[in-house]
Amino acid sequence: MSPEPDATGTSDREMVIERLLDAPRELVFAAWTDPKHLARWWGPRGFTHTTKQSDIREGGSWVFTMHGPDGKDYPNKITFLEIKAPDVLRYVHGDPTDENFRTTVTFVDKGGKTLVTMRALFPTASAREHVIRTFRADEGGKQHLEKCAEQVERMKAGKGVFLMTRLVAAPRGMVFRAWTEASELKQWFGPKGFTMPHCTNDLRPGGVMHYGLRAPNGTEIWGKWLWREITPPRRIVMLSGFSDPAAAWARHPMAPVWPLTLLSTVTFDDEGGKTRVTLEWCPYEANAEERAAFDGAHPSMVGGWTGTFENLDAYIAKEAR
């Protein structure tokens, strides 16, 4: 086995990325070491993966294939060098004898929150620069931790995650556009009887969709989506919530303890030319009172989303004629 890289004077060989997560470190550590959680978040935006071998212990390996948004597959192997729950996780990309970069992840308690620091040490400064320049590894690392934060929110919600699925009689490319194009969203999105006279959409990660709904009695309700991930035609992820007319986040107009933002994930799966749409909602960085309000509203959410999906069905049927 090759000796450990010298940790002194390594600033030009290191890439350090950190993020403060709103969860205790035991939960965050589980997100990094439990295969069922890793399957939900590992990798940059737009990537999914298929596991071939999962042996998460010191000396064990995780062998998997990353599936990129470009349709390419990227074989990966991680060998775990140290697992000290809930403080430290250290691993190498490849085998311990390979001259690949090694990553140390530390989990530090910050008053019930967790500061996660990823420290990747490369064999040379040029190797570090290569992965940043060629693969944008620094940006990928930031997305990696952002997706981890989202999975931690799902774990915090537990059974409080709101799930709903609907089979839509149209190809998923068509359904995906209906969910992401402002001109199409204006035709169907919202509860039964509502219209959408206003909708602007900056369709890119970090962009905002801002919309105004009008109720049958003329009342206006504003909302927005902050786009996190857009992977045509498979998946969208956004933070959603109410807003004011100027697109600033705002509280629910009739429920002040409603979570300010929700983590919303919509997946589109092909089923023989039809599309299975799965909606997943959970509170994002919410307190206990806000989570309780969200959990108690699931029955009314089913009713509201049933009407919205019926609007989508009617719009799809009209467009298909």
**Inter-residue contact 280 to 161 (CB < 8 Å):** yes
The token pair that represents 93 in the structure block: 């990309």
The token pair that represents 41 in the structure block: 């978040």
* 4: in domain: no
Specify whether 130 is located in the same domain as 53: yes
Specify whether 232 is located in the same domain as 295: yes
* 3: in domain: no
* 5: in domain: no
Tens digit of pLDDT for each residue in 61-78? Answer: 999 999 998 889 999 999
Domain boundary among 133, 155, 177: 155
Specify whether 168 is located in the same domain as 79: no
Q: What is the DSSP string of 77-138?
A: EEEEEEEETTTEEEEEES-TTS---EEEEEEEEETTEEEEEEEEE-SSHHHHHHHHHHH-HH
* 315: in domain: yes
Is the torsion defined by CA of 171, 174, 177, 182 positive or negative?
negative
* 103: in domain: yes
Specify whether 15 is located in the same domain as 30: yes
State how many domains the chain has: 2
Specify whether 194 is located in the same domain as 150: no
Cα separation of 87 and 182, whole Å?
Answer: 45
* 276: in domain: yes
Instruction: Estimate the crossing angle of helix 137-157 against helix 25-33, to 10 degrees.
Output: 110
CATH of the domain at 259: 3.30.530.20
Specify the higher pLDDT residue, 95 or 279. 279
Specify whether 136 is located in the same domain as 174: no
The domain in which residue 165 lies consists of 161-320
pTM, 2 dp: 0.90
Cα separation of 207 and 224, whole Å?
Answer: 10
Specify whether 32 is located in the same domain as 168: no
* 247: in domain: yes
Banded model confidence at residue 100, pLDDT cuts 50, 70, 90: confident
Specify whether 178 is located in the same domain as 271: yes
Residue 241 pLDDT exceeds 80: yes
Residue 321 pLDDT exceeds 80: no
Domain boundary among 96, 131, 155: 155
Specify whether 136 is located in the same domain as 222: no
Residue 11 pLDDT exceeds 90: no
Domain boundary among 108, 134, 155: 155
Specify whether 194 is located in the same domain as 67: no
Least confident interval from 9-18, 63-72, 158-167: 9-18
The token pair that represents 275 in the structure block: 């599309």
Torsion of CA 189, 195, 201, 205, to 10 degrees: -30
